[in-house]
Structure 1
Amino acid sequence: MGLSHSSVYHSSHVRSVTKSGPVVIPPHQDVYPRLEIYDFCCDGTTYKPEFELLVQGYQAMYDRPYEDMRSFYQVAGIHGLPYSAYDGVTGGAHEYHNDTDWAKGRWGGYCHHGDILFPTWHRPYMLLIESLLIDEAKKIALQYPDKEKEKYVEAANKLRHPYWDWSAEKAVEGIPNVFSKEKLEIYTPKGWKIFNNPLKRYTLPVDLSTPLPTPSNNPTAKPSYTPPSMDYNPYTPAGYPTVRHPNANYQDQYDVLNQEMLAYVPTVFRAGFYQMFHIDNYLHFSNHALRSNDTEMADTNPGHPNPLVFVGYAHFASLETTHDGLHLIAGGLGGHMSYPDITAFDPLFFFHHMHIDRLIALWQAVHPDSWVPENIAINGTYTAKLNEKVNGDTDLTPFRKSEKEFWNSNDVRDIEKLGYTYPELVKFKDQDPKKLHSYILGLYKPDPHFGRRWFAKLTIEEGKLIGPYVVRVFVDLVNATAKTPVTSPHFAGLVAMWRSTNNFHANGTTYTVGSVDITAAMKRLGLRMEKHDYVSDVNATTGLLKSTSLFNVDTDINCVPVRHNGEEVSPKNAGVTKVEVYSFEHDNEDPNFLVKNTGQYYGAKKF
């Protein structure tokens, strides 16, 4: 969960059903695309009215009384804290705080993490914030002077919540300025007005979480503020804003955030999504959980040659694994985005998850026949107990499609029926899915090298170390430590452990499995990259690489777990059980190299 349960405190702010009736999320009447934030706000005057309504709409949600179910506070609180019923939705498990599941690590909010509903639960969540935003925009549009009203009414109808593509090549430049500017000048119904930028931060109307037991970590006085212990959620008193990479004075550090974007966009984000789009099974694509007895993730990879050992699915990255990394990079130590319980109070959360929804939609278009199977929600939620069975018909609480019915995964499968789409889906509509697939692989290819690609697969036991933390992977640097800069040519990438629970699961230990594309690092270091010959390089009895080989997993791959405060932890104490190395061959003409029998295994290092 990202924190120990002894340190979790429940909010005293109890929610009640909104006075204007239950919050129902209807589909939009017309279909319009969600746009990338650069196109949306930086494309001259094309979307100027929509952008002005977006800013004013966010501010209007902020200005609603926090008890209002349509306020930003209440919507953000659905994800984690304050661990109370949104809009009266309790399901069959509302006695959560007295449930013995609590001691076993059950998740306190409604969000699904580490199960097959991770992608689909967030879809109506994004539809909710988008719908409320559009409602506010339509009211604001009607207030403009008559000579401009029609333009703004049309803009409000076309308005869809933009996304931030933090895996695009441009993302190496850092976070877009629209998220970091202190002020925005906007044309409103009453003329030009300078706003405190609502996309930069949200100021809490009530206390969020609780103070730490040590006075030095209580930010009631800004000059003495210090980032919190990793075992606790950062405490945000009423009147304080959300922050990103805060310093000791509780100020954002965008220089640090942008430096991390420069390092991780090419090594983690682009590589992760490039890998993800080679997965054709929804179960493997959807989340990062894996049972020790393999009840959740089966060995279905067709590309691994005999006579070798178990491969599993995860020499590629799941959607959730790469998603986790952005949370840690955007928030930093003490920043709200880094902590699952409070992450949604940073408005950046919604631009981030609109991008995740876009990637889900693109993946669906490429693999239209794979969808939500029946599985287990191992972590539980506010309305679901630990290890409940879930499938495409499971209610995605607390999101209502009518006063008496909730949306489910099958309901939200077709986004056009929900009233939105994405530019790539418009561009490739009614074309062969292979064309879209090739386009996406070209869009997110992390480096220009073709031929053989190399991957380090990490298996990490959850709960050994309370997160968030990352496991950095270095190539050919046996003495790498937490102080080794990620700008080093030896740094290949990382696996993010955004939410490491201490759950007990009756069906077996739970693992997170992720992979790092080490091709670029090997190229930089001049390591041997051609396919190894089994006759001369591999022991025919054990299947392991001979010590005479130029590449040895034991010495050439170094895993360095690092907590968010920079503290180094041993791989064993961080739950790293094993690192394995694979290589696969592919090219431009046939990018789906998993269907080819070209994979090679180079052994494992166990901890």
Structure 2
Amino acid sequence: MAPFVFANTLHFTLFASLLFRISTSSPIALGQDGPLPRAAGVFSVLGVASLGDPSVHPRLEVRELEKNTDQWNIYLLGLKRFQETGKDDRLSYYQIAGIHGRPYIAWDGVNQGSGDSGGGYCPHGANIFPTWHRPYLALFEELLYLNTRQVVSEFAPGPLRDKYSAALATFRMPYWDWAAVPPINEGSMPWSVQKPTVDVVFPNGTSGTIANPLFTYRLPAGADMGGPPFSIWPSTLRDPSSNEANAASRNDLVALELDQNRNNLQSRVYNVLAMQHDYTAVSNDLEPGDNFESVHDTIHNTVGSDGHMSFLAIASFDPIFWLHHTNVDRIFSIWQALNPNSYVTPMANPYATFTEPSNSVADINTPLAPFHHDASGKIWTSDGVRSTTTFGYTYPELVGFNSNDTSSLILKVNNLYGPNAGHQKRSTSSPSLVDRSTLDRRAVAGAPNFSGQRQYVTNIRVKKFSGIGSFNIYVFLGGQPGSDAKLWVNMASFVGVTGMLSQPMQSDNAKADVDAHGAVPLTAALEQKVRSGELESLEEGTVAEYLNRNLQWRIATMKGELIPTEETPGFQISVMWVPIQPAESASEFPKMLGDYQVLVAATDGLPGGFWKGDAVSSNGY
């Protein structure tokens, strides 16, 4: 392990009031022209529970939090204050976001390691990918809470301050569930992240409109975003309209693709939670099969679509990054509760980070740099962050969870992501920003019911850090995809897309000759083909023959440019199948009867497919 160098091992004193440089013309300004002096030393990441109320409270889905108008108001004001902190402050939004990737500088005294260490602190393609993000999110939540608490303190004593103080007591940052069936008359992408402005109540008691801090983050002067176009865009963008400085986000197109791919995401989340039980396999994308990281990549690419979220080094500056990663942590937390005996085991991780060279072995005691545990300079480890309650939070599905009885949790997972999943509760958000009348698939459960007692899934292997940047793999059953990748998700033959979050240059946390894996489940789509009479049965021979005639795939860059299969380094797609014992009740999961097997005949002879005679890995892929 590379040594850590600390600027100072004194405990960092948390001031009750964090004062930042904010324009005094704003109703939420502090009326001071500079930050308070701060104590030198490391910042101990202790979570919100360390700041007052030690109780554990759940992080809520963003649409649920919005229903609590008091918490929603102080959340928006607190996030805005956080974002407006000067970039040279180590507790600024800019520097906290910069821990993940750019600007590639030391944070809190944890200096760059030896060897070929480089890029940001975040370990991608690593067994500590889920655990590293836990203290990272706790740090963000702690600073968000402190900013929010300062906002509340500026309300005049009286009923208004009292109600916002009560709201603050249980406040935790929200998550965005992009896989569950959305509320009626809504799509997967919440309206609250698509609106340029929002209405709030200011500490002076007046109401007004502010720039929505969930819509974009306005980058400070001198922000290191790399080269153009990111260096000329003044704010974070999603699916940018151009490479010019006046480019706009096209959230409507992002929302459309999220809706069209939601069934696939639901099925993927369900498969990971219900039928995968090995931590190493699900924690990263190095092993064949589906995993947290690949699902996570798909959201990054869909939301970014050549904007900030689809570039690994700068994704964390988009405010939606925090909603997305909080949901990844939530899914990981649910998986942990269902699989308490599987956790981090030693593994060599091929990619370098800011503190570790490539091929460093990480285990349960590996420091999750740069997050300090205490005043001595000790760094959090995976062993220390195993429970979310360490940082004072949980998730709605885990409130009251009894580890001796998982049936109630299984029921909740089935209700959210299983074959009979229903809508989330109706949101109180604003009406639709775009016409979604044609998107009937958004309201349909995406998980299969395993009526054919078989599971089918495409396994996709590719070298994602080969220098071409982030890209997507789209899967179809029948229908010839055209040349415009932006239209593929609207095709009746579209099954799903999986993303590979990467960098266009091999210098950013990259290593070209490493395989990454993703998946697109096929079972639900094949069940629909049986119901329509297009497919006779789900017997593997029948399915193999059908897929060899109808299964198609396309690969595209974030700009929508087609990448020929033969020009995609290391690309191969295979179809896996396994017998399934369907669940007998709503409080049970379906069970795999054996290991996955390659359905060779499904892709034999197809360009980029698994052919007869190709090597099969030890785990059947």
TM-score by length of 1: 0.79
Structure 2 residue matching 1:82: 3-state secondary structure: coil
Indicate which of 568, 573, 576 corresponds to 2:562: 568
1:339 aligns with 2:273: no
Distance 1:564 1:507, change over 3 A: closer
Match of 1:294 in 2: none
Residues 478 and 555 in structure 1, CA contact (< 8 A), matched pair in contact too: no
Amino acid at match of 2:121: Y
Match of 1:326 in 2: 299
Structure 2 residue matching 1:581: 3-state secondary structure: strand
1:350 aligns with 2:322: yes
Q: Distance in 2 between matches of 1:51 and 1:479?
A: 43
Match of 1:114 in 2: 125
1:30 aligns with 2:55: yes
Indicate which of 553, 559, 568 corresponds to 2:553: 559
Residues 321 and 496 in structure 1, CA contact (< 8 A), matched pair in contact too: yes
Matches within 5 A, 1:100-179: 101=116, 107-148=118-159, 149-170=161-182, 173-179=187-193
1:284 aligns with 2:278: no
Q: Distance in 1 between matches of 2:457 and 2:224?
A: 40
Distance 1:139 1:462, change over 3 A: closer
1:450 aligns with 2:453: no
Matches within 5 A, 1:386-425: 386-403=358-375, 404-425=377-398
Distance 1:155 1:577, change over 3 A: same
* Cα deviation code 1:348-398 (max 9, x no counterpart): 111111111111110100101111111112111101111111111111111
Cα shift at 1:124: 0.5
Q: Distance in 2 between matches of 1:33 and 1:188?
A: 26
Indicate which of 412, 415, 418 corresponds to 1:439: 412
Q: Distance in 1 between matches of 2:60 and 2:253?
A: 27
Amino acid at match of 1:254: N
Match of 1:513 in 2: 517
Structure 2 residue matching 1:572: 3-state secondary structure: helix
Residues 475 and 518 in structure 1, CA contact (< 8 A), matched pair in contact too: no
Cα shift at 1:187: 1.6
Structure 2 residue matching 1:146: 3-state secondary structure: coil
* Cα deviation code 1:224-281 (max 9, x no counterpart): xxxx5xxxxx3245xx1111111134111122111111111112x1122112112100
Indicate which of 83, 92, 103 corresponds to 1:82: 103
Matches within 5 A, 1:41-56: 41=66, 43=67, 47-56=68-77
Structure 1 residue matching 2:410: 3-state secondary structure: helix
- Segments of 5+ residues of structure 1 without an aligned counterpart are 1-16, 94-98, 213-217, 219-227, 229-233, 291-312, 538-544
Indicate which of 243, 250, 256 corresponds to 2:237: 243
Amino acid at match of 1:566: G
Amino acid at match of 2:43: V
Match of 1:530 in 2: 537
Q: How many residues align?
A: 517
* Cα deviation code 1:501-531 (max 9, x no counterpart): 8589999942112221123333444443635
* Cα deviation code 1:371-427 (max 9, x no counterpart): 111111211110111111111111111111113111111111011122111111015
Once superposed, what is the RMSD of the aligned Cα atoms?
2.8
Indicate which of 341, 349, 353 corresponds to 1:381: 353
Match of 1:467 in 2: 469
Amino acid at match of 1:569: I
Distance 1:392 1:592, change over 3 A: same
Residues 321 and 495 in structure 1, CA contact (< 8 A), matched pair in contact too: yes
Cα shift at 1:476: 3.3
Residues 24 and 399 in structure 1, CA contact (< 8 A), matched pair in contact too: yes
- Segments of 5+ residues of structure 2 without an aligned counterpart are 1-36, 419-445, 609-621
Structure 2 residue matching 1:485: 3-state secondary structure: helix
Structure 2 residue matching 1:125: 3-state secondary structure: helix
Residues 387 and 505 in structure 1, CA contact (< 8 A), matched pair in contact too: no
* Cα deviation code 1:545-593 (max 9, x no counterpart): 9xxx872554432221111111111223213543222333342327655
TM-score by length of 2: 0.77
Amino acid at match of 1:251: A
Cα shift at 1:209: 4.2
* Cα deviation code 1:316-375 (max 9, x no counterpart): x20110110101111112x11111111111111111111111111101001011111111
Q: Distance in 2 between matches of 1:124 and 1:178?
A: 26
Residues 102 and 225 in structure 2, CA contact (< 8 A), matched pair in contact too: no
Residues 456 and 579 in structure 1, CA contact (< 8 A), matched pair in contact too: yes
* Cα deviation code 1:128-170 (max 9, x no counterpart): 0100011122222222222233332232231100111111111
Residues 462 and 502 in structure 1, CA contact (< 8 A), matched pair in contact too: no
Amino acid at match of 2:65: F
Amino acid at match of 2:247: Y
* Cα deviation code 1:167-218 (max 9, x no counterpart): 1111771421211222222122211232211111111113344675xxxxx5
Residues 352 and 509 in structure 2, CA contact (< 8 A), matched pair in contact too: no
Amino acid at match of 1:187: V
